[in-house]
Amino acid sequence: MEKKIVIIGAGYGGVLTAKKLARKLKKDTDVSITIIDKNPFHTMLTELHEVAANRVDEESIKISLEKIFTRRKVNVKLDTVESIDFDNKLVSGKNASYAYDYLVLAAGSKPTFFGVEGADEFAFKLWSYEDAVILKDHIHHTFRKAVCETNLEEKKRLLSFHVVGAGFTGVEMVGELAEYVPILCEKYEIDRELVSILNVDILTRTIPILPEKLSDKVEKRLKKMGVKLMLNTSVCSIGKDFIEMKSGDTVTRQSTGTVIWAAGITSSDITCEAAKTLSSAQRDRIKLDEYLRSMDKKDVYVVGDNMFYIPQGQEEPVPQMVENCEHSASTVAKNIVCELTSKGEMHEYKPSFHGVMVCVGGRYGVARVGLPNFMFNLPSFLAMLSKHFINIVYFIQVLGWNKVFSYIKHEFFTIRHCRSFVGGHFSNRTPSFLLAPLRIWLGAIWLFEGAKKVSEGWLESPKLTGFFGGANAWYNSVLGIVTDGVTAATEATDVTTAATEAVADAVAGTTGTAILNWNFLGLFQAIFVSGKDLVHSSLNDFAFKLDVPLMNWFVDTFILPYDAVQLFMQIFIVVVEILIGLALIGGLFTTPAAAFSLILQIMFVCTTGLYLGTFWMVFAGVAVLIGAGRTFGLDYYAMPFLKKKWKKLSFVRKLYIYND
């Protein structure tokens, strides 16, 4: 009889639980896995502030559930769960009902307003994809409206922003807003002094989970960005155009155009409903045993924000953060599989959290990371780097290469207004069509080199012994190294540096100038020389080589002793050079052509070396590596067609090895 696993919620915990279960149970045909969510996509809740303040595209924070679970044994149901009958093991939604043998409650959370009058009605939330998009549009509309407002007081009211909450979400939102406001002021020609940004919270300091030293850094950064901190201040009520606050015994009312609520969360509606039946605590979080099962129903597991569980030896329940979602999803998946298969032992939940990171805008962050008994602070650059690294690790689990590439593109390569922790240096600004002449010229040089080798007889007889020997003789002569014999390689070409004239000079005793001869632990030797004295040297007289013993051993052992192998390698090099040239000239398969161009250059650097006069080919290969064939090239037509066909292959979709 088929066993049914139902997962409510496609947030961090729900998606990871479903994927781990699908992987562990892929060979069990008598088990079905169903995940239910009201949206057809998974939302990156930790990145909502980036969309709200227009740092990244809104599409970058959502991931299609269909793509996540392609060719996996997971049934995705778009529905809103309204009730759960725990006795009859039935989940009821607006569209259908779902029977279960094991239920995973991963419905996440929602904002809580602590009874503040008008907060739900008049404040903007930041807890869903829709919230972020609505807030982004509102901020833009506010500046459009303010620029046309002639009444100064009304203009100031429109440009007043109150962010309620100085925890993770509140600080990240107010930081993004403070970074974005100067850009909007410049765009709409509004004086920055007219804009007010306030961060309000009853807390005594920002992000109290962090050490006081890091909280001070956050507060200092916010003040530097023009944010007014109103700590030890509670919110009494919120209206359409005002916010009422209390500090000590003093109650003040301020005019405002925007209130953003980021002051706390409670369990989602369905979890609150479940808490009426199941034991719960602290804003309707479900009490769990050590295996993450409900204390009342052993067939009900809970992951993520809905958990109330105090690990052994701890005093506080597990935090409502993404790392807890990841850890709990793994434990729940293991324990459900254990119960289903009657194999192995149940795993007690013993999370080991590795710290927290907070970004204040796109260019500054703080972090405290490490192990439970060894935590340390990171400087801003490393804090931001670790945040992105952790996101990438999560994306690898969820959507593999596809999402990782997309994330890097959105966060670094196409970032707006240099709002990146690397300062925007990776942002694309140069029109790509300017690369077309460079691509064509690089292709022409490769085509010329290949054709030249054909005319020199590379397809007919072995020449690599003389080719490599002549280059080595020249370097040895310049370095003053005496060898047993010198082979004058008349077959050499400029692109590989063993020029006929240079070899002749070496044999004649002209030693040139050795500039660098550095041996790194015997792994490689960096050699930089000139064929003449420095005063009379031109760019084409300087040559660079990486002498790699392992590469030399391979060439001397497997290539040079055998004429057939030499001839094969020569034919291969000639064919590749010609194909690279044709591909780059035509702009067809530009990325692999540029990659092979770089590989050949690296091979030459490690065998014969390169003259500086030809080093431009290395940099040109890097420049045209990505997308250069889409302008004035055949890739403009070929790649969209091939990409469409590639994405339809079942194994490609399963492994996520495609790019949206």
Does residue 373 belong to any structural domain of this protein? no
Answer whether residue 590 shows pLDDT above 50: yes
pLDDT value of residue 583: 97
pLDDT value of residue 412: 85
Does residue 652 belong to any structural domain of this protein? no
> pLDDT digit string (tens) for 68-78?
999 999 999 99
* Residue 456 structure tokens: 């020199």
Does residue 14 belong to any structural domain of this protein? yes
pLDDT value of residue 413: 83
Residues 376-396 have a mean pLDDT of: 93
Distance CA 180, CA 183 (A): 5
- Cβ atoms of residues 270 and 300 within 8 Å: no
Answer whether residue 509 shows pLDDT above 70: no
Question: How many CB atoms are located within 10 Å of the residue 323 CB?
Answer: 18
DSSP strands (E only) in 239-292: 242-247, 250-255, 258-261, 265-267, 280-281, 285-287
Residues in the chain: 660
Same domain, 259 and 271: no
Of the listed ranges 441-455, 509-523, 530-544, the one predicted with least confidence: 509-523
Same domain, 614 and 564: yes
Does residue 400 belong to any structural domain of this protein? no
Q: What is the CATH number of the domain that holds 226?
A: 3.50.50.100
Boundaries of domain holding 535:
435-641
**Single-letter amino acid code for the residue at 310:** I
If you average pLDDT over every residue of the chain, what do you get?
A: 91
Residues 16-37 have a mean pLDDT of: 95
Confidence of residue 251 (pLDDT cuts 50, 70, 90): very high
> pLDDT digit string (tens) for 124-161?
999 999 999 999 999 999 999 999 999 999 999 999 99
Same domain, 98 and 132: no
Residues 37-45 have a mean pLDDT of: 96
Same domain, 271 and 253: no
Q: At what angle do helices 590-607 and 616-623 cross, to 10 degrees?
A: 150
* Residue 435 structure tokens: 């690369």
Residues 197-208 have a mean pLDDT of: 96
Does residue 614 belong to any structural domain of this protein? yes
> pLDDT digit string (tens) for 388-429?
999 999 999 999 888 898 888 888 888 878 888 887 787 777
Same domain, 505 and 635: yes
Residues 312-326 have a mean pLDDT of: 92
pLDDT value of residue 53: 96
DSSP strands (E only) in 351-437: 355-359, 365-371, 374-378
Same domain, 455 and 569: yes
Distance CA 316, CA 549 (A): 58
Q: Which of 106, 108, 104 is nearest to 333 (CA)?
A: 104
Distance CA 371, CA 364 (A): 23
> pLDDT digit string (tens) for 468-506?
888 888 898 888 875 554 443 333 334 344 433 444 444
Same domain, 132 and 9: no
Domain end point (choices 332, 350, 368)? 350
Domain end point (choices 329, 350, 371)? 350
Question: How many CB atoms are located within 10 Å of the residue 654 CB?
Answer: 13
Answer whether residue 330 shows pLDDT above 70: yes
Same domain, 604 and 634: yes
Same domain, 26 and 138: no
pLDDT value of residue 511: 61
Answer whether residue 8 shows pLDDT above 60: yes
pLDDT value of residue 483: 54
> Cα Rg for the chain, rounded, in angstroms?
32
Answer whether residue 658 shows pLDDT above 90: no
Residues 446-466 have a mean pLDDT of: 94
Q: At what angle do helices 12-24 and 322-341 cross, to 10 degrees?
A: 30
Residues 26-44 have a mean pLDDT of: 95
Does residue 396 belong to any structural domain of this protein? no
In DSSP terms, which residues pair with 520 in a beta bridge? 524
Same domain, 451 and 588: yes
- Number of domains composing the chain: 3
pLDDT value of residue 414: 83
Sign of CA dihedral 130, 132, 136, 138: positive
Does residue 419 belong to any structural domain of this protein? no
Same domain, 233 and 88: no
Same domain, 106 and 178: no
pLDDT value of residue 392: 92
Does residue 405 belong to any structural domain of this protein? no
Phi, psi (5° rounding) for residue 158? -60, -35
Domain end point (choices 316, 350, 384)? 350
pLDDT value of residue 496: 40
